[in-house]
Amino acid sequence: MLLRGTLAVAVVVGLATAGPLRAEGPWTLLGDHGLTAGLAGPRGAGVSFVGVSVDGRTLAAVTASGKAWESSDQGASWRAVEAIDATTLLHPERAEAAPPGVPDALTIRHPYRAGWLYALADDLYRSEDDGATWVGLTDEAALPMIGATPSAIAFDPADPERIFVATEAGLWRSADAGLTWVGLNATLPNFPAGLFRPLDDGAPPLLEIEGLGPALLPGGAPRWILAAQPSPAAPADARTAFEVFLAGGAVGGSGRAGSEEAVTALAVSGGPEPLQFVGMRDGRVWISADAGASWRPAGEGLPRDGRSVVDLWADPGASLAAIAVFAGPSGGRVFRTVDGGRLWDDLTADLPAGEIRAATASADGEAVYAAGDDGVFFASASLRSPTPATSWQAVGDELPVAAPRDLFVNSRTGQLYVSLEGYGVYRRRAPDVLRSLRLLNAADLSDRPVAPGGLLTVVGAAVGTATIDGAPAPVLFASPEESQIQAPFDAAAGRAATVRLSTSEGVETLRFPVQSLAPAIFTTDGEPLVVDAGTGRLLDLTRPARPGSRVLILSAGLGAVNPTWPAGVAAPTENPPAVVAAVSAFLDGVPLEVVGASLAGGYVGAYWVEAQLPSSLRGGLGRLEIEAGGRRSNTVQLFLAP
């Protein structure tokens, strides 16, 4: 990302940058406990019960997962409890009346409004005349605004207009007896469980939520947003509909819930000859080398005691490595193969007792992570050879106590993600980052080439001095976790440059490609750093780009400038040097008028590309790119106002 030393300039243009990658620190919640899904407020997972105490001071709820919660401030905050004390709650009377065509509705009498009834069915209905007439309260344009199938309703003795309803989409409150609603799900720890689907741009991974589909966390968004359509980068979870065949005959079930032959885990490796690994409820693991045309059983080393396979991870960069996790609070639970599943060895060692529910590994094959009921753990273990693993270590102790659903490590950015049932997604720096030195293009933390004058992020070391092909490369920022250096403007292009880094561990030599032009758009967490040229405000979900406006795209890799400028020096804010190459910009593939391109005043190693947006925009998300010298940049998503 951009240099910490340049952040003062951001104030001038109103741009808030992310600074360098965060150092190793505590787990951080991404978003909140709710999910934007087109309802009256953020939704959650299902809530099965809601009640209010007789004195009106306590709001109680039980989630569909069985966890009990209480609130003393109308749902602004919650505390977990072992169980709800039903003797303290108000219990409204049931009534026999029901709306026409809804004979199975659960009808509740309002305890403080004579003649008022509420019927709970697929939607919520209200009658003000003891059931003679009814009005639907939540069915709006065929989409229930608080989610379908309300299961419980509660009334506040302090305010007859205030009611609470539990639905399959969480917990909801109305201050006008059901005419309008607000969600209480942003604060109630009841986030829908999801599995990670990695994206290619260094952003937080997409979250595939069971029964709902993919969700994204765009920059500037306070919470995860349910995508309208599945992403090609996130194939539907195959765990519930997958058949395993061997010699033309089915040896596994079709994924029916509860079946001993149901598929419980699935992973696909990368490499030139990818393998499919499938885990079963009965503990068997099957492997296919021909996209499922034929299958072979896993080889020696795995448990044979019938325990379920709860998770599988396969190396996206090499076809032979995989991790399998088996159910059980003790004994062998985490297993490794480095030869395509023919032999497995037990990595459990001193892993603390307790169920392990998810595992992942770094793509360089030097670290394995396991998440269980007692937290997330890390061990150094090769996935290229069956060498012994090191002792397991806890990865922080700040996570709430909850069952993990999935783990994901972005080996490029060094971020570790865990999906916790009820609580949502947490992120922190992966411990193995500190052990492996790597170079990244600082614009988007990718391995795309850098241009002369461009920025490189060094992950894993504090750099004292640096050279690129023997020429000094200014060190602009240094910490034990990462550093940033700038390639000289006269660096030789067209080949992999030799980068020599002086660190506390000695001199490290790495290679990184340099091109004369390597356009890229700066991103933070996958979101572009693009500002409105008129207001200087960063464009995001809350401030979309306006039709007819001009935008400034913070860019990298645009090469030579006129007049020439030295590396390591911030560009002037007045009359900054202009880019020599012709620069183009595109929105959804349509060329934009480029007003100008120059070094970004006050920044080191960055450029502004100013582009004119058309007078009409379709609204939503647009695909933004720049181009120089026939080379396209990374594609970023820009929020557009209609």
**Could you tell me which residue, 140 or 12, shows the higher pLDDT?**
140
May I ask the CATH architecture of the domain 520-640?
Sandwich (2.60)
- If you search the block for the tokens 């620069």, which residue do you land on? 583
Which amino acid is located at 599 in the chain? L
- CA dist 387 and 537 (Å) reads 52
Cα dist. 304→209, 299, 307, 313 in Å? 31, 11, 8, 20
**Could you tell me which residue, 397 or 177, shows the higher pLDDT?**
177
Tell me if 435-514 shares its fold with 520-640.
yes
Cis, bond preceding 232 (omega within 30 deg of 0): no
Cα dist. 476→464, 505, 508, 584 in Å? 10, 19, 18, 29
**pLDDT, tens only, 420-429:** 999 999 999 8
Q: What is the pTM of this model?
A: 0.78
Which amino acid is located at 113 in the chain? R
Question: What integer is the mean pLDDT of 510-521?
Answer: 95
- Give the model's pLDDT for residue 203: 65
> Does domain 225-433 match CATH 2.120.10.30?
yes
**pLDDT, tens only, 456-469:** 999 888 999 999 99
Residue 386 neighbours by CB under 8 Å, 6+ apart: 336, 338, 343, 345
- CA dist 380 and 389 (Å) reads 6
Question: What integer is the mean pLDDT of 497-507?
Answer: 92
Residue 28 neighbours by CB under 8 Å, 6+ apart: 426, 427, 428
Rg (CA), the chain: 28
pLDDT at residue 106 tops 90: yes
pLDDT at residue 198 tops 80: no
- CA dist 48 and 170 (Å) reads 9
**pLDDT, tens only, 516-553:** 999 999 988 778 999 999 999 999 878 899 999 999 99
- Give the model's pLDDT for residue 326: 97
> φ, ψ for residue 627 (rounded to 5)?
-145, 145
- Give the model's pLDDT for residue 9: 30
- The runs of H, that is alpha helices, within 555-613 are none
Point out the least confidently predicted range of 21-30, 215-224, 373-382, 483-492: 21-30
Question: What integer is the mean pLDDT of 154-177?
Answer: 96
User: Is-contact 130 117, C-beta < 8 A?
Assistant: yes
Percent of the residues in the chain that have a pLDDT greater than 70, as a whole number:
88
pLDDT bracket for residue 256 (50, 70, 90): very low
pLDDT bracket for residue 396 (50, 70, 90): confident
**pLDDT, tens only, 42-59:** 999 999 999 999 999 999
Domain ranges in the chain are 35-183, 225-433, 435-514, 520-640
- CA dist 445 and 573 (Å) reads 26
User: Is-contact 605 477, C-beta < 8 A?
Assistant: no
- Give the model's pLDDT for residue 314: 94
> φ, ψ for residue 4 (rounded to 5)?
-60, -35
Question: What integer is the mean pLDDT of 387-410?
Answer: 90
Cα dist. 321→205, 294, 315, 382, 435 in Å? 22, 19, 5, 10, 21
Query: Which residues are bridge partners to 249 per DSSP?
Result: 246
What's the mean pLDDT when you consider all of the chain?
Answer: 86
- CA dist 367 and 372 (Å) reads 17
> φ, ψ for residue 7 (rounded to 5)?
-65, -30
- Give the model's pLDDT for residue 230: 41
| CA distance from start to end of the chain | 30
- Give the model's pLDDT for residue 398: 86
- Give the model's pLDDT for residue 365: 59
User: Is-contact 585 595, C-beta < 8 A?
Assistant: no
- Give the model's pLDDT for residue 220: 59
- Give the model's pLDDT for residue 362: 86
**Tokens standing for 135?**
């009005």
> Does domain 435-514 match CATH 1.10.10.10?
no
User: Is-contact 340 287, C-beta < 8 A?
Assistant: yes
- CA dist 177 and 110 (Å) reads 10
CA 560 to chain centre: 37
- Give the model's pLDDT for residue 140: 61
Q: Positive or negative CA dihedral for 140, 146, 150, 154?
A: negative
Query: Counting every residue, how long is the chain?
Result: 642
Task: State the pairing for strand pair 35-36/224-226.
Answer: parallel
Q: In what order do the strands lie in the sheet with 28-30?
A: 28-30, 424-429, 415-420, 404-410
**pLDDT, tens only, 355-366:** 999 999 986 758
- CA dist 154 and 58 (Å) reads 11
**Could you tell me which residue, 217 or 345, shows the higher pLDDT?**
345
- Name the 3-class secondary structure at 170: strand
HSE, CB side, 13 Å, CA atoms: give it for residue 26: 6
**Tokens standing for 187?**
């604060």
Secondary structure (H, E, C), 314-353? ECCCCCCCEEEEECCCCCCCEEEECCCCCECEECCCCCCC
- CA dist 408 and 205 (Å) reads 8
pLDDT bracket for residue 216 (50, 70, 90): confident
**Tokens standing for 598?**
């120059």
- Give the model's pLDDT for residue 347: 96
Cβ burial of 527 (10 Å; 0-12, 13-18, 19+) is: buried
- Give the model's pLDDT for residue 25: 56
- Give the model's pLDDT for residue 50: 98
- Give the model's pLDDT for residue 637: 86
User: Is-contact 626 583, C-beta < 8 A?
Assistant: yes
